[in-house]
């Protein structure tokens, strides 16, 4: 009965998958088998992949593990999506509302500067 009541109210559709459809891997810097484990996930072509970052990024081997993970993702998704940020550009926002607020503030600042420029220019002309 609960499902019948709440089903029309579910915000997001979802599908429950079999555990065989999920690839899970705890990634750390001391895993000598990391490449083989990533190759196994790549080979099985799971519908969902979860790589849990358990890397101590201060450890000397951390860079190797990070490079393996980057290579893994680049092999799965070699082309950058149109919605992704350019290389080297970082998203400093956690929520889309923060981005929208910043864009609005920037637009208002530009409008104020344009009005100020227009008023100063008009005063110079009329003087």
Structural domain tally of the chain?
2
* pLDDT tens, position by position, 6-21: 666 666 777 777 788 8
What is the structure's pLDDT at 90?
85
Has residue 47 been placed in a domain? yes
Has residue 85 been placed in a domain? no
Domain-terminating residue out of 78, 101, 119: 78
CA atoms within 13 A on the CB side of 64: 11
Q: Are residues 72 and 98 in the same domain?
A: no
Domain that holds residue 108: 93-127
What is the structure's pLDDT at 8?
62
Q: Are residues 73 and 100 in the same domain?
A: no
Has residue 123 been placed in a domain? yes
Q: Which of 5-9, 12-16, 26-30, 100-104 has the lowest mean pLDDT?
A: 5-9
Residue-wise DSSP of 26-44: EE-TT-TTHHHHHHHHHHH
Q: Are residues 16 and 54 in the same domain?
A: yes
* pLDDT tens, position by position, 31-87: 788 889 999 998 988 888 999 999 898 998 889 999 999 999 999 888 888 888 888
| Average pLDDT value for residue range 21-30 | 87
Q: Are residues 69 and 13 in the same domain?
A: yes
Q: Are residues 33 and 70 in the same domain?
A: yes
Has residue 106 been placed in a domain? yes
Six token digits for residue 34: 């990391």
């Amino acid at each position: 009965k609960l499902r019948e009541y709440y089903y029309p109210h579910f915000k997001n559709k979802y599908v429950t998958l079999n555990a065989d459809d999920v690839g899970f891997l705890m990634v750390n810097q001391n895993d000598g088998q990391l490449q083989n484990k990533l190759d196994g996930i790549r080979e099985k072509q799971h519908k969902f992949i979860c790589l849990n970052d358990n890397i101590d990024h201060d450890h000397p081997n951390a860079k190797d593990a990070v490079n393996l993970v980057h290579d893994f993702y680049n092999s799965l998704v070699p082309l950058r999506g149109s919605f992704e940020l350019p290389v080297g550009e970082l998203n400093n926002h956690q929520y889309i509302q923060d981005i929208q607020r910043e864009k609005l503030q920037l637009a208002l600042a530009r409008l104020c500067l344009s009005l100020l420029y227009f008023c100063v220019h008009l005063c110079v002309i009329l003087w």
